[in-house]
């Protein structure tokens, strides 16, 4: 079991620290594994001991005691959701598993790779602009001195003679003529050669649309010509301006009120300086379970029937340029009595779709093939 400490107050507010060692010391001194710049914290204030039983905190004999859930204590067995305060820094304890810590590290590495790629793209564009400016600078004297030679065709006004048989006589056209000087009989049409066959273009008759008065049965699927609701595999725009920056899953152990709880925090980033209507943004999150047959052998992946979101999630407040937005979906398995001969559905995965004004901007799933195997309807 691993534990995560979320700093809620103090000079390092907002940071998350993973406790992955058997014994960890917290204090303001240089010899501590977790060093906090807090004037009211001793050099070595407390020691955390992680074991199968839980996370044990012990005061190291300092003048400033520990406050656990707003009560003074010298030692305490911490559990998920507890808060403890030393000096001016308050911590929240979260119990988690190794896979979730690894996913957070992978998201940070992916963000670092994206930043490096953006820097390379900027350098490439700057080099192209500089090269274009240099070419234009050196070629400008030649472009400025270039003159176009005027071609004078006034020396010859005669029209070349045409082939024999095309006209009865060659026709000379004067460039200085008036409409009254042209006689109708002077110009004769060109006779059509016998080899010039006229090709008949067949007439294509477009059938009229057929109508029916029959009542459609919803169990037979959508009628012909009716567009179905979009699926998770809908095409994403070539240049989407809202993307999924990271997905942070968390799993919590059961309590007296539920057997299992999971949270899914989706962080979004915007790639456009234009104004975004926050009301037009929606994040669809669907959870899936493995439902077992009566023999308890084979399972079928179906949309979860646990306590999950039943409508798209919305972000709060205006969205400023350079800011990231996050929404959190919750998956809760309520505590129910177990029945012999049955097996409770097991958690399988999730799909995420980001929509803006009804159009898909980005999507993700875990496992990756879940988007291809299951459709996801839109909630208007």
CA dihedral over 50, 51, 57, 60, signed as positive or negative: negative
Q: What is the number of alpha carbons within 13 Å of residue 313 lying toward its C-beta?
A: 21
- Residue 167 pLDDT more than 70? no
pTM of the shown model: 0.40
- Residue 175 pLDDT more than 80? no
Mean pLDDT of the chain: 75
Dist. CA 47–CA 56, nearest whole Å: 8
Rounded average pLDDT over 18-24: 82
Q: How confident is the model at residue 355 (pLDDT cuts 50, 70, 90)?
A: very high
Q: How confident is the model at residue 227 (pLDDT cuts 50, 70, 90)?
A: very low
pLDDT at 268: 95
Span of 36-50, 174-188, 231-245, 315-329 with lowest mean pLDDT: 174-188
Residue 138's CB is within 10 A of a number of other CB atoms, namely 8
């Amino acid at each position: 079991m691993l534990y995560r400490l979320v700093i809620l107050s103090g000079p390092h507010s907002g940071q998350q620290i993973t406790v992955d060692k058997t014994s960890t010391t917290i204090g303001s001194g240089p010899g501590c594994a977790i060093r906090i710049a807090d004037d009211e914290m001793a050099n070595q204030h407390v020691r955390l001991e992680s074991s199968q039983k839980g996370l044990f905190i012990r005061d190291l004999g300092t003048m400033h005691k520990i406050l656990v859930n707003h009560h003074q204590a010298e030692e305490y067995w911490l559990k998920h959701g507890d808060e403890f305060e030393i000096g001016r820094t308050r911590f929240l304890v979260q119990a988690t598993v190794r896979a979730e810590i690894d996913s957070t590290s992978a998201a940070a590495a992916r963000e670092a790779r994206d930043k490096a790629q953006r820097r390379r793209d900027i350098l490439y564009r700057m080099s192209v602009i500089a090269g274009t400016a240099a070419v234009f600078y050196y070629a400008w004297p030649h472009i400025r001195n270039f003159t176009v030679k005027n071609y004078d065709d006034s020396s010859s006004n005669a029209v070349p003679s045409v082939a024999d048989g095309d006209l009865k006589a060659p026709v000379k056209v004067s460039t200085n003529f008036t409409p009254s000087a042209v006689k109708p009989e002077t110009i004769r049409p060109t006779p059509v050669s016998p080899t010039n066959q006229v090709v008949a273009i067949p007439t294509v008759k477009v059938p009229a649309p057929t109508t029916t008065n029959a009542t459609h049965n919803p169990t037979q699927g959508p009628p012909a010509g009716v567009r179905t609701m979009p699926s998770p595999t809908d095409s994403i725009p070539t240049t989407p301006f809202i993307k999924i920056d990271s997905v942070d899953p968390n799993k919590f152990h059961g309590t007296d009120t539920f057997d299992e709880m999971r949270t899914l925090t989706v962080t979004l980033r915007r790639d456009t300086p234009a104004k975004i209507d926050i009301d037009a943004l929606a994040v669809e999150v669907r959870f899936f379970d493995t439902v077992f047959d009566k023999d308890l052998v084979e399972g079928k992946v179906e949309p979860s029937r646990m306590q999950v979101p039943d409508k798209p999630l919305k972000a709060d407040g205006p969205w400023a340029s350079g800011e990231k937005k996050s929404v959190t979906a919750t998956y809760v398995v309520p505590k129910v009595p177990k029945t012999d001969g049955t097996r409770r559905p097991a958690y399988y995965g999730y799909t995420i779709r980001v929509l803006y004004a009804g159009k898909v901007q980005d999507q993700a799933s875990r496992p990756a093939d879940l988007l291809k195997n299951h459709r996801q309807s839109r909630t208007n």
